[in-house]
């Protein structure tokens, strides 16, 4: 999950720190990142996890032996604030990610 710069008081919160996600992660004995990746899978969405740390890469693959309940998926769905988690696409240039 890519974390971008914050843009004032309306900046989106890091979903990996959201209490809903961390509580679900604790219930499943997983990391918040694994829960968010599983949420993507539950919705049939593609996620592109990234890490250079071998243990995190392994964690990113370890999301296929558990499932979220319908209530857990709905609880994560409800986190959506309608605020972009990244910059406006037309405001990004190659130099922004060097």
pLDDT for the residue numbered 6: 52
Residue 26 lies in a domain: yes
Considering the entire predicted model, what is its pTM?
Answer: 0.76
Total number of domains constituting the chain:
1
Q: What does each C-alpha distance from 2 to 28, 37, 63, 70, 73 come to in angstroms?
A: 23, 12, 18, 25, 20
Residue 33 lies in a domain: yes
Residue-wise pLDDT tens digits, 24-76? 999 999 999 999 999 999 999 998 888 999 999 999 999 999 999 999 999 99
Residue 43 lies in a domain: yes
Residue 49 lies in a domain: yes
Which DSSP string do the residues of the chain spell out, in sequence order?
A: -------GGGPPP-GGG-HHHHHHHHHHT--HHHHHHHHHHHTT-------SSHHHHHHHHTTSS----HHHHHHHHTT--S--SS--GGG--GGGG-
Domain interval for residue 24: 14-80
């Amino acid at each position: 999950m890519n974390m971008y710069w914050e843009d004032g008081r309306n900046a989106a919160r890091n979903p990996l720190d959201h209490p809903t996600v961390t509580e679900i992660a604790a219930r499943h004995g997983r990391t918040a990142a694994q829960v968010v990746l599983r949420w993507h899978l539950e919705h049939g969405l593609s996620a592109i996890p990234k890490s250079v740390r071998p243990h995190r890469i392994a964690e990113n693959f370890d999301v296929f032996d558990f499932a979220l309940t319908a209530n857990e998926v709905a609880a994560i769905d409800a986190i959506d604030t309608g605020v972009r988690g990244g910059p406006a696409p037309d405001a990004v240039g190659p130099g922004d990610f060097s």
